[in-house]
Amino acid sequence: MKKSILLVFVIGLIGAFYLNASEDALTLMSAPQKSTLEKLRSFDTHTSKADISDEFGEPVNSTSNDTTISWEVKQDSKVTRVKAYFLTGELNKVQFLSLDPFWGYTLYYSKNGVENEL
């Protein structure tokens, strides 16, 4: 019984994540969150950790070699997370995540700016 309840819960969370990804995430975002997304869209591969910190303050978490760095952004009494990936020494990807309501938005970067959004 407990296993089946846990399984239903996990499947529900996975479904909620995919349901609220990309375009659905735009619907769930508040106006300040959409403003943050516009800032993220202005980044490109030359955007540095310092540039992102200028926008969102000091990082709350990072890997030892700074390939993955996270910032918390407080808006409308809710906290969203901006997670930047510098896997090749340049900005490759940013995830913009919320737990209330649950959604995620990912931007992939090239030298010309945003290459793909999911």
With beta carbons less than 8 A apart as the criterion, state whether 107 and 96 touch: yes
22 pLDDT band, cuts 50/70/90, is: low
Q: Cβ-count burial of 55 within 10 angstroms (0-12 exposed, 13-18 middle, 19+ buried)?
A: middle
Where do the structural domains in the chain lie, given as residue ranges?
2-117
**pLDDT given for residue 20 in this prediction:** 45
Give the C-alpha separation, 16 to 7, whole Å.
Answer: 14
Length of the chain in terms of residues written? 118
The per-residue pLDDT for range 1-19, each reduced to its tens digit, is 566 555 444 554 455 455 4
